[in-house]
Structure 1
Amino acid sequence: MPESLNIVDLITQASLLVQIVMALLLLASLLSWVIIFRMSARLGTAKNFDQQFETWFWSGEDLAKLYQGVQGSPERQGLEQIFYVGFSEYLRMHKKRQPKDDIIDGVERKLRVGLGRQQQLLESGLTTLASIGSVAPYVGLFGTVWGIMNAFLGLSQSEQATLATVAPGIAEALIATAMGLFAAIPAVLAYNHFTAKSSRLYDSRALFCDEMTGMLQRETSIENPQPSTQVSQVNQGTQVKSTQVTGL
């Protein structure tokens, strides 16, 4: 490539506005890659945590004991946190001797809230990726149009109109388009990929919520309207801790 068309030289010789456009596109590209790496790690961690908790949940251990184990976890997330808020509501309403239908409705509401909050945390960054993917090409096109306009303005002031005269200006303008695509394409691909992965996790968690609701419905069935022995022990343990704190 001739030295006159060196990419670095073209960028440094571009007009101030085109350089600003290129700098913005470079920052957008860097930001999108940071989000991509973070979301990749976050989704992978969330999937592993959910699989581990589901294995624990379906191991046959009593729900009350499972709740006590989750209660002591310093950093609850994913299915663990969803289970915690749902079963906490179950214990609270059982303690108040609420009717079965009210208990199940309350648990379902808490599970939906917990599911929604966990999904918001999971999808953090997707909006930025979508914005970069949709806006970056147009920003690059704006820089290209401006650069080509300057190139033709310079051509009109030249005594002899040749390709060598206009080529550098057009080349520097096209670099802006290339940078816009360079920022947009990975962002769009990552957005589609992460949206699909987060949707699969959401479906899996929603199915877990339905299964947990069914288990709690059996727990509060007409044949057994009172909390199970294990659940009662959890409530009693909570009351004992409260009494000890009051005594102190």
Structure 2
Amino acid sequence: MFRKLLPAVILIAATPAAAGTQTLPHDLSVWGMFTQADWVVKLVMVGLVLASVATWTVLIAKHLELARQRKSAEAFRDTLADAGSLAQLDAASAAHPIVREARAEIAQSADALADAEGLKERLVSRLDRYEAKVARKMTQGVTILGTIGATAPFVGLFGTVWGIMNSFIGIAESQTTNLAVVAPGIAEALLATALGLVAAIPAVVIYNHFARVIAAHRAVVADSAAALLRIVSRDLSRGTLPAVEG
């Protein structure tokens, strides 16, 4: 009797293991979860990886650009602070865009130089516009970091929702709540969430860093504009400005 039941017992004992072996995911590494994911989740993951690459690219490129501009702007500010008049500026400083802006306004006001206060007001307006233009140029490429930081978590959440939805569909189709059936879809969904955070957190931190750096750079430009206004005011008081421009 026992010998007759033994094959059946062996078959029953082996069946769950065999079923589990068939349903268990064969690869739960990051790459394995990506390759097994639904195509929508794959698109989400690829988009988040590209956003992360863009973030680090902006960090490197913008850091080098701003560091170079900041050093040049500080040197120019110190040159203006030491100059007593426009005539004392060297050729390189005289060719600086902010000095060209001032000279252009003085040239356009050549017939109204007697109105010193009016000239100063026009210079302030023009230099303010120049400062705003410099600020806009410095923020180019940085605003994308704010966009990534704001949207990446929600994009990752979309991938999470889609992956979990697929998991529930798998449960309905297999008519089982076996963890081996549910786990792969949930793992893929959570990977999308993780990639969203990996893209968003550095983007926010780097964006805030550049916001502080740009604000400091803009302050240097404002100091240069103020120093240039002082130089023009001295030349106006001395009556040497027409000679300089002519």
TM range (shorter): 0.7 to 0.9
Q: Partner of 1:27: helix, strand, or coil?
A: helix
Q: CA RMSD in A?
A: 2.1
Distance 2:47 2:114 in 1: 58
Gaps of 5+ in 2: 1-24
Q: CA deviation at 1:89?
A: 1.7
Q: Are the aligned partners of 1:17 and 1:143 in contact in 2 as well (CA < 8 Å)? A: yes
Distance 1:19 1:62 in 2: 64
- Residues 100-139 of structure 1 mapped to structure 2, 5 A cutoff: 100-139=116-155
Distance 2:83 2:114 in 1: 27
Distance 1:55 1:100 in 2: 25
Paired AA for residue 179 in structure 2: L
Distance 2:225 2:213 in 1: 19
1:235 aligns with 2:240: no
Matching residue within 51, 54, 57 for 1:31: 54
Greater relative contact order, per chain length (Cα 8 Å cut-off, separation 6+):
2
Q: CA deviation at 1:55?
A: 2.8
TM-score by length of 2: 0.82
- Residues 41-80 of structure 1 mapped to structure 2, 5 A cutoff: 41-60=64-83, 62-66=85-89, 68-72=91-95, 80=96
Deviations 1:148-171 (A, max 9, x none): 110111012224321111111100
Distance 2:109 2:92 in 1: 20
Percent identity, please.
33
Paired AA for residue 56 in structure 1: T
Q: Are the aligned partners of 1:83 and 1:111 in contact in 2 as well (CA < 8 Å)? A: no
Distance 1:127 1:210 in 2: 28
Q: CA deviation at 1:39?
A: 1.2
Match of 2:216 in 1: 200
- Residues 15-26 of structure 1 mapped to structure 2, 5 A cutoff: 15-26=38-49
Distance 2:90 2:105 in 1: 12
Paired AA for residue 21 in structure 1: V
1:211 aligns with 2:227: yes
Q: Could you say which structure has the larger radius of gyration?
A: 2
Q: Are the aligned partners of 1:94 and 1:227 in contact in 2 as well (CA < 8 Å)? A: no
Deviations 1:62-85 (A, max 9, x none): 42242643355xxxxxxx422331
Q: Partner of 1:109: helix, strand, or coil?
A: helix
How many residues are matched?
222
TM-score by length of 1: 0.81
Matching residue within 143, 154, 173 for 1:157: 173
Q: Partner of 1:119: helix, strand, or coil?
A: helix
Q: Are the aligned partners of 1:138 and 1:180 in contact in 2 as well (CA < 8 Å)? A: yes
Match of 2:33 in 1: 10
Q: CA deviation at 1:219?
A: 2.4
Deviations 1:89-121 (A, max 9, x none): 234424654511221111111111111111111
